[in-house]
């Protein structure tokens, strides 16, 4: 069995845009790396079931989202929508409503786009976060870092600068209306969130605390309630705290978080009360691990090290959640996003 993953990258050094890597399950190795599309700053990717790819893009002094068609033998650009300022940092895909959401760290903007029949984009809404921010230097203004769906098909948005996690209702015309907001500890800097398969528990990753908040989610009110905070670095760690990505297994038994600065993937077990307990910390054999992704059978995990231009492949034990290094130094420049490509 062979499985492919799309790698989104920064293009500040040698990267040319989007790459595809092939994981050979029989060989237990990544056996092929291919550059597939040239694009400036393809730092986050979203895939639709119609085989359309949505990528962050920079055009001179503007940033936005580009739509690509993957139904051809080569990637074909469909259209793009950009606006003045830095490009966004996250893309969420809403299959039910046929919408795309982009979150912009620098401008604190959430943009909503319609996915048209041909995969092209047309804008439906534009929301800007304003208000008080956290105490740390990196929280100098609101910073939207994540925007994707809750289990009950609302939009959840992590604002790194405001220490807030917002929930929005979404109209049939693609308009957002705020329903609730959850306040994390000052300086927590919410970055990404994942939900348990039961739809009632969420795991919120704080970048500047390098910690996870375990939250109860009430679909009736769209509100979060705090249950636990657990660190993703040891108590005596005095280096950079910069947690990046978080994933949960389909069975809801294990959570994986990447730590830049310490350059590790940290593994947590989900206990019977849905709180987390620490299992393992393993080196990413590189510097600044940004994103990671599980294989379809969840037997492997791929981590992307942005600053050392390499991917790392681990085998995953489904019983205890532990990772075992099987391959390192897989050359991919400036990797920051890993997406499984379902063929």
- Give which of 13, 32, 14, 34 is closest to 23, Cα–Cα: 32
**Chain-wide mean pLDDT for the chain?**
97
CB atoms inside a 10 Å sphere around CB 219: 13
Q: How confident is the model at residue 73 (pLDDT cuts 50, 70, 90)?
A: confident
pLDDT above 70 covers a percentage of the chain that reads 100
Do the strands 52-59 and 45-47 form a parallel or antiparallel pair, or are they unpaired? antiparallel
d(CA 294, CA 296): 7
Confidence of residue 27 (pLDDT cuts 50, 70, 90): very high
Whose CA is closest to 58, among 99, 15, 95, 94?
Answer: 15
Q: Is the pLDDT of residue 343 over 60?
A: no
Residues 6+ apart with CB under 8 A from 168: 127, 154, 155, 156, 157, 176, 177, 178, 179
Residue 100 to residue 108: CA distance in whole angstroms: 17
pLDDT at 47: 97
DSSP secondary structure letter of residue 188: -
Handedness of CA 209, 252, 336, 305 (dihedral sign): positive
| Calpha distance 112→121 (Å, rounded) | 10
Name residue, tokens 């090290």. Answer: 305
Neighbours of 33 (CB within 10 A): 14
What is d(CA 272, CA 4) in angstroms, rounded to the nearest whole number? 34
For domain 43-193, the question of CATH label 3.40.50.2300 is answered with no
Q: What is the pTM of this model?
A: 0.98
What mean pLDDT comes out for the span 238-267? Answer: 97
- Region 24-28: mean pLDDT is 96
Report the pLDDT averaged over residues 3-13.
97
The pLDDT of residue 72: 85
Tokens 């393809």 belong to residue: 42
Q: What is the mean pLDDT of residues 1-16?
A: 96
| Residue indicated by tokens 């046929």 | 98
Token reading at 114: 């319609």
What is the pLDDT confidence band of residue 84, given thresholds at 50, 70 and 90? very high
Give the pLDDT confidence of 273-316 residue by residue, as tens digits: 999 999 999 999 999 999 999 999 999 999 999 999 999 999 99
Provide φ and ψ at 137, rounded to 5°: -55, -35
Contacts of 319 (CB under 8 A, 6+ apart): none
Task: Determine the pLDDT at residue 93.
Answer: 98
Give the strands of the sheet with 109-115, arranged side by side.
90-94, 99-104, 109-115, 121-128
What one-character DSSP code corresponds to residue 42? B
The pair of structure tokens assigned to 240 is 């950079």
In terms of Cβ atoms closer than 10 Å to its own Cβ (0-12, 13-18, 19+), residue 92 is: buried
- Summarised one tens digit per residue, pLDDT across range 138-147 is 999 999 999 9
What spatial distance separates the first Cα and last Cα of the chain, rounded to whole Å? 12
**pLDDT per residue over 50-64, tens digit each?**
999 999 999 999 999
- Residue 342: the pLDDT is 74
CA 146 to chain centre: 7
Instruction: Return d(Cα 179, Cα 225) in angstroms, integer.
Output: 15
């Amino acid at each position: 069995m062979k499985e492919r993953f799309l790698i989104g990258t920064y293009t500040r050094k040698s990267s040319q845009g989007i790459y595809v890597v092939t994981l050979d399950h029989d060989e237990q190795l990544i056996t092929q790396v291919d550059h597939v599309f040239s694009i400036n700053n393809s730092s986050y990717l979203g895939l639709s079931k119609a085989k359309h790819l949505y990528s962050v893009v920079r055009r001179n002094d503007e940033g936005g989202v580009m739509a690509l068609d993957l139904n051809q033998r080569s990637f074909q650009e469909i259209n793009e929508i950009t606006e003045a300022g830095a490009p966004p940092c996250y893309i969420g895909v809403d299959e039910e409503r046929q919408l795309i959401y982009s979150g912009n760290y620098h401008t604190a903007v959430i943009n909503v786009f319609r996915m048209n029949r041909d995969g092209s984009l047309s804008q439906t809404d534009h929301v800007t976060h304003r208000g008080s921010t956290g105490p740390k230097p990196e929280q100098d203004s609101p910073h939207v870092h994540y925007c994707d769906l809750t289990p009950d098909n609302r939009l959840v948005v992590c604002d790194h600068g405001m220490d807030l996690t917002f929930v929005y209702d979404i109209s049939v015309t693609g308009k957002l209306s705020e329903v609730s907001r959850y306040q994390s500890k000052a300086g927590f800097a919410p970055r990404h969130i994942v939900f348990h398969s039961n739809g009632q528990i969420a795991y919120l990753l704080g970048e500047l605390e390098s910690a996870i908040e375990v939250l109860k989610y009430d679909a009736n009110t769209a509100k979060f309630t705090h249950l636990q905070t657990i660190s993703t670095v040891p108590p005596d760690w005095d280096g950079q705290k910069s947690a990046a990505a978080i994933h949960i297994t389909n069975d809801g038994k294990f959570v994986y978080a990447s730590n830049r600065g310490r350059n590790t993937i940290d593994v947590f077990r989900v206990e019977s009360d849905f709180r987390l307990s620490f299992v393992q910390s393993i080196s990413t054999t590189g510097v600044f691990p940004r994103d990671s992704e599980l294989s379809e059978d969840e037997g492997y995990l791929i981590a992307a090290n942005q600053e050392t231009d390499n991917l790392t492949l681990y085998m995953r034990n489904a019983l205890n959640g532990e990772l075992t290094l099987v391959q390192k130094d897989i050359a991919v420049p400036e990797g920051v996003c890993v997406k499984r490509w379902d063929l």
